[in-house]
Amino acid sequence: MTLEKRSEVSCDRCDAVCCRLTVVLMPGDNVPRHLVDRLPDGPEVMRKDEDGWCAAVDHSKMNCSIYEQRPSVCRKFSMGSAYCRSERERYRDRHLIDIVLA
Residues found near ligand SF4 in the complex (CB under 6 A): 19, 23, 46, 54, 56-57, 64, 66, 70-71, 74
* Shortest separation between residue 1's beta carbon and ligand SF4, angstroms: 26
* Shortest separation between residue 97's beta carbon and ligand SF4, angstroms: 19
| Rg of the chain in Å (alpha carbons) | 14
Please, which residue, 64 or 91, has the CB nearer to ligand SF4?
64
Q: Give the separation between CA 56 and CA 69, rounded to whole angstroms.
A: 10
Through-space distance between the first and last CA atoms of the chain, rounded to whole angstroms: 19
Please, which residue, 74 or 100, has the CB nearer to ligand SF4?
74
Please, which residue, 4 or 75, has the CB nearer to ligand SF4?
75
* Shortest separation between residue 87's beta carbon and ligand SF4, angstroms: 12
* Shortest separation between residue 71's beta carbon and ligand SF4, angstroms: 6
Burial 41-77 (b: 16+ CB within 10 A, else e): eeebbbbbeeeebbbbbeeeeeebbbeeebbebbeeb
